[in-house]
Amino acid sequence: MALRPDLAIIAGAVPAATRVLDVGCGDGDLIAALRDKGVDARGLEIDAANVTAAIARGQSVVQGDANRDLADYPDDAFDYAILSQTLQTTERPDRVIAELLRIAPRAFVSFPNFAHWRVRLALLWNGRMPVTRLLPVAWYETPNIHHVTVADFRDLVRARGIGVEAAWYLSGDKPTSAAAATWRAEHAIFLISRG
Amino acid sequence: MTIDRPLPLDSGQALPSVTIAYQSYGTLNADRSNAVLVCHALTGDQYVASDHPATGKPGWWARMVGPGKPVDTDRYFVLCANVLGSCMGTSGPATPDAATGAPLGMAFPVITIADMVRAQAMLLDHLGIARLHAVIGGSMGGMQTLGWAAAYPERLASAVVIASAARHSAQNIAFHEVGRQAIMADPDWQDGQYYGSDRAPTKGLSVARMAAHITYLSEAGLTEKFGRRLQARDAKSFGFDADFQVESYLRHQGLAFTDRFDANAYLYITRAMDYFDLAEPHDGRLAGAFAKARDVRFTLVSFDTDWLYPTSESRRVVQALQSVGAAASFVELSAPFGHDSFLLDVPALDRLVAGALRNGG
The residue in chain B having the minimum alpha-carbon distance to the alpha carbon of residue A57 is B355
Q: Are B230 and B248 in contact (CB under 8 A)?
A: no
- Tens of pLDDT, residue by residue over B42-75, are 999 999 999 999 889 999 999 999 999 999 999 9
What residues does A42 pair with on adjacent strands? A21
Q: What is the mean pLDDT of residues B182-204?
A: 96
Q: Are B250 and B210 in contact (CB under 8 A)?
A: yes
* Nearest beta carbon to residue B355 from set A32, A49, A55: A55
Q: What is the pLDDT of residue A195?
A: 76
The verdict on A57 touching B (C-beta cutoff 8 Å) is: yes
CB burial readout B145-182, b (16+ within 10 A) else e: bbbbbbbbbebbbbbbbbbbbbbbbeebbebbeebbeb
Confidence of residue B358 (pLDDT cuts 50, 70, 90): confident
Residues in contact with A105: Cβ distance below 8 Å, sequence separation at least 6, in sequence order: A76, A79, A193, A194
- Tens of pLDDT, residue by residue over B141-157, are 999 999 999 999 999 99
> Per-domain residue ranges for chain B?
2-169+277-357, 172-271
CB < 8 Å to B359, chain A = 58
B-facing residues of A in 165-194 (CB < 8 A) are none
CB < 8 Å to B330, chain A = 51, 62-64
Instruction: For residues B302 and B319, give the distance between their C-alpha atoms in angstroms, rounded to a whole number.
Output: 14
Domains of chain A: 5-114+148-193 (3.40.50.150)
Confidence of residue A173 (pLDDT cuts 50, 70, 90): confident
Confidence of residue B359 (pLDDT cuts 50, 70, 90): low
Q: What is the pLDDT of residue B360?
A: 46
Q: What is the mean pLDDT of residues B165-194?
A: 98
CATH number of B172-271: 1.10.1740.110
The catalytic residue positions of B are 139, 306, 339
Q: What is the pLDDT of residue B58?
A: 95
Q: What is the pLDDT of residue A1?
A: 62
Classify the phi-psi angles of A148: left when phi > 0, otherwise alpha if psi is within -120 to 50, otherwise beta: beta
> Which has the closest alpha carbon to B361: A33, A179, A69?
A33
The class (CATH top level) of B2-169+277-357 is alpha beta
Residues in contact with B33: Cβ distance below 8 Å, sequence separation at least 6, in sequence order: B131, B133
Are the Cβ atoms of B319 and A64 closer than 8 angstroms? Answer: no
Instruction: For residues A88 and A71, give the distance between their C-alpha atoms in angstroms, rounded to a whole number.
Output: 19
Q: What is the mean pLDDT of residues B213-225?
A: 95
Are the Cβ atoms of B322 and A60 closer than 8 angstroms? Answer: no
- Three-point CA angle B353, B354, B355, nearest 5°: 90
Are the Cβ atoms of B327 and A60 closer than 8 angstroms? Answer: yes
Q: What is the mean pLDDT of residues A186-190?
A: 96
Average predicted confidence (pLDDT) for chain A: 95
Residue A33, min C-alpha distance to chain B (Å): 9
Q: Are B349 and B342 in contact (CB under 8 A)?
A: yes
Mutate to test the interface with A, among B75, B294, B322 (most CBs of A within 10 A): B322
- Tens of pLDDT, residue by residue over A126-154, are 999 988 887 789 999 999 999 999 999 99
Q: What is the pLDDT of residue B361?
A: 33
Confidence of residue B307 (pLDDT cuts 50, 70, 90): very high
- Tens of pLDDT, residue by residue over A45-71, are 999 999 999 999 999 999 999 999 999
Q: What is the pLDDT of residue A120?
A: 94
* Nearest beta carbon to residue A55 from set B323, B329, B332: B329
